[in-house]
Amino acid sequence: MRNMQTKEKVMLHKGMDKVKRMQYEEALEVFDRLLAVNSQIPEAWNNKGVALFRLGRSDEALECYGKTLAIDPDNLDALRNTGFVLRCLGKNEEALQVYDTVLQKGGDAIDFESTAGVLISLGKLEEAINCLFLAKDMMPLDRFEEEIGILKGMILEKKNPAPEPVPEAKKDGTDAIQTTEGKE
């Protein structure tokens, strides 16, 4: 919140409060008024993007995150939000690139977990489990242990798929599988 006047800070906080209260349309009005006064406030663009996303306007949200990053390329919140929206849109390759950037810029355990989620969506289970181990090392949460356990099971299942069940014999002693040759 650098280089902001007191009135701008008050407006930013008012808009953020509207987002927290799920008053997204009102939040947009506040952010639009603020950005009309000073369009170089990355936090206003980022929070406007959050309100737009909550209203189902993902493309506009991504534009706002882009404007945030044009002003402040190291804004981890805007990068995280971009990755999240891309992931929600099923654009997993793009989301992965964004999360990689977050991690390069100093991401945390939750960022490793988010990256793992994208990797799972892409079928890259071994890479995903490595991210979860890194997350667990940074922040020993029980849920990371649980996710690692689930992922270990998925990896084992992928390497050793369960055999298809054999059809049971019919009660009358005939096979459940009938061939056309044996019928009269």
Measured distance CA(148)–CA(70) in Å, rounded: 36
Residue 6 structure tokens: 């007191």
- Looking at the predicted structure, is the pLDDT value of residue 2 above 70? no
User: 160 or 156: which carries more pLDDT confidence?
Assistant: 156
Confidence (pTM): 0.83
Q: Put residue 104 in one of left, alpha, beta given phi > 0 → left and psi -120 to 50 → alpha.
A: alpha
Q: How confident is the model at residue 160 (pLDDT cuts 50, 70, 90)?
A: confident
Q: How confident is the model at residue 161 (pLDDT cuts 50, 70, 90)?
A: confident
Measured distance CA(65)–CA(82) in Å, rounded: 6
Measured distance CA(36)–CA(47) in Å, rounded: 15
- Looking at the predicted structure, is the pLDDT value of residue 21 above 80? yes
- Looking at the predicted structure, is the pLDDT value of residue 5 above 70? yes
For the segment 41-52, what is each residue's pLDDT rounded down to a tens digit?
999 999 999 999
DSSP secondary structure string, the chain? -TT--HHHHHHHHHHHHHHHTT-HHHHHHHHHHHHHH-TT-HHHHHHHHHHHHHTT-HHHHHHHHHHHHHH-TT-HHHHHHHHHHHHHTT-HHHHHHHHHHHHHTT--HHHHHHHHHHHHHTT-HHHHHHHHHHHHHHS--HHHHHHHHHHHHHHHHHHSPPPPPPPPPPTTSS-SS--STT--
> What pLDDT score does 32 carry?
98
Class of CATH domain 1-78? mainly alpha
Q: What is the mean pLDDT of the chain?
A: 90
- Looking at the predicted structure, is the pLDDT value of residue 184 above 80? no
